[in-house]
Structure 1
Amino acid sequence: MKRGIKFNAIFILQSLQDDERHTGSEIAQQIKYACLQRGIESMDELINVNDRTTFFEVINNITDSIAHGVKPYLHFEMHGTSSGGLCLSSGQTISWEELKEPLRKMNVACKNNLYVSLATCHGANFLDMYKGEIDKPCPFFGYIGASTKVDAFDFEVSFTSFFHAMLTKDSIANGIKSLLESLPDNRANYIFLDCEIYHKELMKNWEKEYGSLEGKTRYSKYLFQRAKKEYAHVGKSNRQMRRELDRMVFSGYTDDYLAQCKRIFLHETNG
């Protein structure tokens, strides 16, 4: 992926126990060093988040800062689970579902320029929460995460290599290359996706899930549940909404509809 650096602040959100190695702090030092090598001001912003309240306050504050010229990169240094999401040092958790809209809001604010990386075990499960939402803006431009359980040392080695190469060579592609080469046989099974590749993957899964008659019934029910939450204020009854959604779904998805969904997903329209 050939793209220069489009951000000016790397926010490292760290939530680790006192007796653990604070890998986020080590990576922040590497970022300082890489910026010094390039002769630019350091981009690192290390933030310790211990509980849910602080976590979401930090996310909202970063989003608000975009209006003042900040172009954020988000990096998470905390524990993760195979299904639940993020684990904070307080013992509280944040599900992937809860993280979805705050990140989407941030990416919309920075005009589809948000990179997100997760030094968390099973961080690739982060991607599963968007499977049905082909008609909403993607929550990131680029994503990096591990699909398996990874130890802290491997994460530190990998992301130290990634940030150093990316910053000194002004290239996301070089950073990804260094990340993948940092461990023997890519044993962390790192995944990198940009929003265009992610859209293609989502559409493959979407066609399998919702292309059949039974699938269309499920998709209509899914859209109906969303509509009840998101459009309750428009004054339509549940019966009206369900009838309109069934008509749209069972009459077939037109090329125009899917093309419009793609434009929205890739932030190519205000719709």
Structure 2
Amino acid sequence: MVGDIRNIIVIQSLSDKEKKTGKILYDDIIKRHIDYLQSENLKMTREFHEVLDKKSFVEILHFYGINSQYMNGGIVIHLEMHGSEDKDGLILCDNSFISWEEIVDLLRIININTKNNLYITMATCFGRYMFKGVSDKKKSPYSGYISASKKVIVDEIMDDFTMIYETLIANGNLVHSYLELDKKGSNFFYMDSETTFEKNFEAFKNNPNFRKQVLDSANETVKKRFGEIVDCEMSNYIYDAGLKQIYLQQKQNFLF
């Protein structure tokens, strides 16, 4: 079932001057609830990682890229670090930067290994913009993710993710847990892989160069075959047909 989770991984990269919200969430909620309160039929694995820089963050994701094929059930990776003010990636505790494109390339391996059962929760500012790093020409790097589109503060991170993970450990499903959070209102939102595809394809379609590329290619083909240039009506037909074909092909490539 979509959203069913059997493995929780927390990755934190916060400076010593900051409240270690990821470790608190892991120790007080995730570890304690799994070990002492969770029913045996839902029993989950749990891991915590403190990363100090981009290199160690990449190594952890590489590790799960290799080992996810041996992990049973859905995986949720919870990220506790800062989002870039430019909305183009994440900032590690040593101020090193990793782009969305780099992150999703690492996540994609895990998602493929788990057959589209990777989920991400992000206690970061501007985490919602991760979808901009996704390529429609490759498989989706996640089934879905929970994130914020703006700046978030420590108190709401602690309150909202405490609720999400308490509910998740009790019911076993991340989507259901998010819906419970959504009832009370939150700055964190859920986005699935299909919505990611639609958003990115819309941006792709609206690129002013896209229509020109489709029509130039069609004109070249028609001219070679028939020695003619297509008229305006035929151009519109060719464009619509080409757009539909590209949409279906990219969607097939992207989704599982």
TM-score per shorter chain, which class?
0.7 to 0.9
Any residues of structure 2 matched to 1:219-234 within 5 Å, and which?
Answer: none
Offset, 1:125? 1.6
User: Retained in 2: the 8 A contact 1:163–1:175?
Assistant: yes
Contact 1:27-1:160 at 8 Å conserved across structures: yes
Paired position in structure 2 for 1:199: 197
Residue 53 (str. 1) matches residue 48 (str. 2): no
What residue number does 2:20 align with? 22
- How far the C-alpha of 1:179 sits from its partner, in A, is 2.9
CA–CA separation in structure 2 for the residues paired with 1:65 and 1:114: 13
Q: Which residue of 2 aligns with 1:236?
A: none
Q: How does 1:42-191 map to 2 (within 5 A)?
A: 42-70=44-72, 71-83=74-86, 84-130=88-134, 133-181=135-183, 185-186=185-186, 188=187, 190-191=188-189
Structure 2 residue 251 is matched with structure 1 residue 258: no
Q: Distance in 2 between matches of 1:34 and 1:163?
A: 9
Q: Tell me the CA shift for residue 219 of structure 1.
A: 8.3
Q: 2: CA distance between counterparts of 1:91 and 1:206?
A: 32
Q: Which 5+ residue runs of structure 1 have no aligned equivalent?
A: 221-241
Bigger radius of gyration: 2
Distance change >3 Å, CA 257–CA 215, structure 1 → 2: closer
Cα 1:13–1:127 shift into 2, 3 Å? same
Describe the superposition over 1:94-125 as per-residue Cα deviations: whole angstroms up to 9, x where unpaired.
12222121112221122111101110111112
Q: Percent identity at matched positions?
A: 25
Q: Is contact 1:195-1:266 (8 Å) kept?
A: yes
Contact 2:132 2:200 (8 Å CA) reproduced? no
Runs of 4+ in 1 over 6 A off after TM superposition: none
SS at match of 1:90: coil
- 3-state SS of 1:134 partner: coil
Map Cα deviations across residues 206-251 of structure 1 (whole Å, 9 max, x no partner).
Answer: 33236xxx3334789xxxxxxxxxxxxxxxxxxxxx989x86xx96
Aligned-pair Cα RMSD in Å: 2.7
When normalised by structure 2's length, the TM-score is 0.80
Question: How big is the shift at 1:33?
Answer: 3.1
Gap regions ≥5 residues in structure 2: 222-234
Q: Is the 1:115–1:142 Cα contact (8 Å) retained in structure 2?
A: yes
Is the CA contact 1:78–1:88 (under 8 Å) kept in the aligned structure 2? yes
